[in-house]
Amino acid sequence: MKTVIIVGGGSAGWMTASTLVKNFPELNISLIESPNIPISGVGESTIAGINEWMSLIGVEDKDFMKATDATYKLSIRFNNFYKKGEGFHYPFSFPYTADTTLGANDWHIKKMVYPETPNSDYADSFYSIMALVNQNKFDKNLDYRLPYFTYGQSTAYHFDATKFGIWLRDNICLPGGVQHIKGEVINVTTDEDGIQGISLDTGMTYMADLFIDCTGFKSLLLDKSVKEPFESFTHMLPNNRAWATRIPYGNKKEELVTYTDSTALGNGWVWRIPLWSRMGTGYVYSDKHINPDNALIEFKEHLKEKHPTLDPESLEYKDLIMRVGIHERTWVKNCVAIGLSAGFIEPLESNGLYTVHKFLVELCRTLLRSRSEKGLIVSQYDKTIYNTTTKKLFKEFATFVAMHYALTRRQDTQYWRDCMDREYDLDPLNENLSMIYGFRNFGIDRMIAREFHLAGGFPCIASGMGYNAVDEIVLKTNTLFTGPGGNPLTMEDCKKIADKLSRNPKRWADSVKNCLSHHDYLETHIYREDNNG
């Protein structure tokens, strides 16, 4: 393998080109982009792990943020998913494990001792990064003040995805030698070995050893040409459409927060993503429960309620139709799909760009193993390993996202009643949660045992949605967990555990009280006119 053609631009296409040109300079890489097909440009939010991919291509925040309208992201907030009027955070970073008696179950003991403790207190009690989130502050260098906070692993970004793709194109891909070909694909020729060539409306035909499909939901190569079967996930993730728009700030310093805000409505949920110059927002919904016209009305009503000075009728709205699921294989013969062309879960948990860079890391690992003096020689076994790994990663995240709906207690609309009544396959969910975070018996069996480990997103979502490990039934049946030495915990022991845990948020809040606000940090370190990066 010596030549690679990427079909499709946008963030997925240029992220792919950047990854390959930086790690495989021996390859001849071209990217074909249609001048007539609009870029989706909606994926404006990333999650923890993006900096690992950034390091793979040698990029830091100061390099791209100013050009992409970017802000920092430390968490995701979920409003009204569990019950109307309640919210909680899933912060990035690692939980503070020192000084606990029973790990994550210390908080569930606190919840039992003090039932009025809000579910949102779980994140506040274990994640020092919440001190920044709650005060809307930011600083990259807090390792010595906030335990387990590390910038690279605890921080993600909000940015304009279209601008990000353009920045990658102009600063990494084109200077690195990627050939940018503009033209409309009018024909894809295939044979028993896969894709033979791609013909454009310019009259040119291009051939390569490897074709990478970054054509979005259209999936021009993997779906339309190679005809790889598609596995739908709508049985557990019914949201398949979205209305998206952009709104101005009312009070920028307050609204420019360090998290993606997710608010559940009657038939889905609304995202709100703060960029430097404006906010992106959209309503993700199921058209089996509400038609697009009524969904737009519901969305506008929410915008008016959330932003009283805003006129929703003055905004431009984009109607998005989502294909939820993944192809049975994402690498078939000489064709690999990256991004929406491979598969998509739904926007919750900002997984769109996440699967792009996770799949790219796996692609690099496969190609690295295949490097030889004669070029890159990829065996069918290597392709099978790649397909198995990416499919597993995708299914794990999909079942994790489904959990946000499965644990709801809302009954106010048919949409939410269906979420409670839907059958969920617990075996994949168990595998998901145990494998993602490296623990045996981490997932559903831990829920059955009423015991959670600290790491990962599972305990944040489960605790935020009221799935408590210790409750009055445990107390009444005298089956409290044992403490050090195997002695049963008394109620006095439980109160000491709860009170000790309650000291963490105050201590961490004091540690960051003198930090700059998120807005002022960005203005000082990124967007100031005399700042060169």
38: closest CA among 191, 165, 180? 165
**Amino acid identity, position 328:** E
What is the spatial distance between Cα 450 and Cα 448, in angstroms, rounded to a whole number? 5
In the chain, where are the structural domains located? Answer: 3-44+160-230+327-398
CATH architecture of structural domain 3-44+160-230+327-398: 3-Layer(bba) Sandwich (3.50)
How high is the pLDDT of residue 474? 66
Say how many Å lie between the first and final Cα of the chain, rounded: 38
Q: How many CA atoms does the CB half-sphere of 421 hold within 13 Å?
A: 7
The predicted pLDDT at position 333 comes to 97
pTM of the shown model: 0.92
Closest residue by Cα to residue 16 from 199, 175, 172: 172
CA triple 136-96-488, angle to 5 deg:
135
Q: Which residues contact 94 (CB under 8 A, 6 or more apart)?
A: 148, 153, 154, 455
E runs forming strands in 419-480:
none
Q: What pLDDT sits at residue 475?
A: 63
Beta partners for 332?
A: 335
What gap in Å lies between CA 234 and CA 53, rounded to an integer? 29
- Counting other chains too, the contacts that 201-208 makes at CB distance below 8 Å and 24 or more residues apart are 206/5, 206/30, 206/32, 206/181, 207/3, 208/3, 208/4, 208/5, 208/30, 208/334
Mean pLDDT split into 10-residue runs, the chain, 533 residues: 95 97 97 80 78 95 96 97 96 87 84 93 96 97 85 94 96 98 97 97 97 96 98 93 96 97 98 97 97 98 96 96 97 97 94 92 94 88 95 88 93 96 67 35 42 66 84 64 69 91 96 96 91 53
Check residue 432 and give its pLDDT.
Answer: 41
The per-residue pLDDT for 40 is: 53
The pLDDT score that the predictor gives to residue 447 is: 46
Task: State the sign of the Cα–Cα–Cα–Cα dihedral 369, 174, 170, 244.
Answer: negative
Task: Quote the pLDDT of residue 450.
Answer: 46
Under a CB-based contact definition with an 8 Å cutoff, are residues 12 and 214 in contact?
Answer: yes
Measured distance CA(249)–CA(359) in Å, rounded = 35
Cβ-based burial of 488 (10 A; exposed 0-12, middle 13-18, buried ≥19): exposed
Q: What is the structure's pLDDT at 459?
A: 83
pLDDT at 426: 58
pLDDT at 433: 41
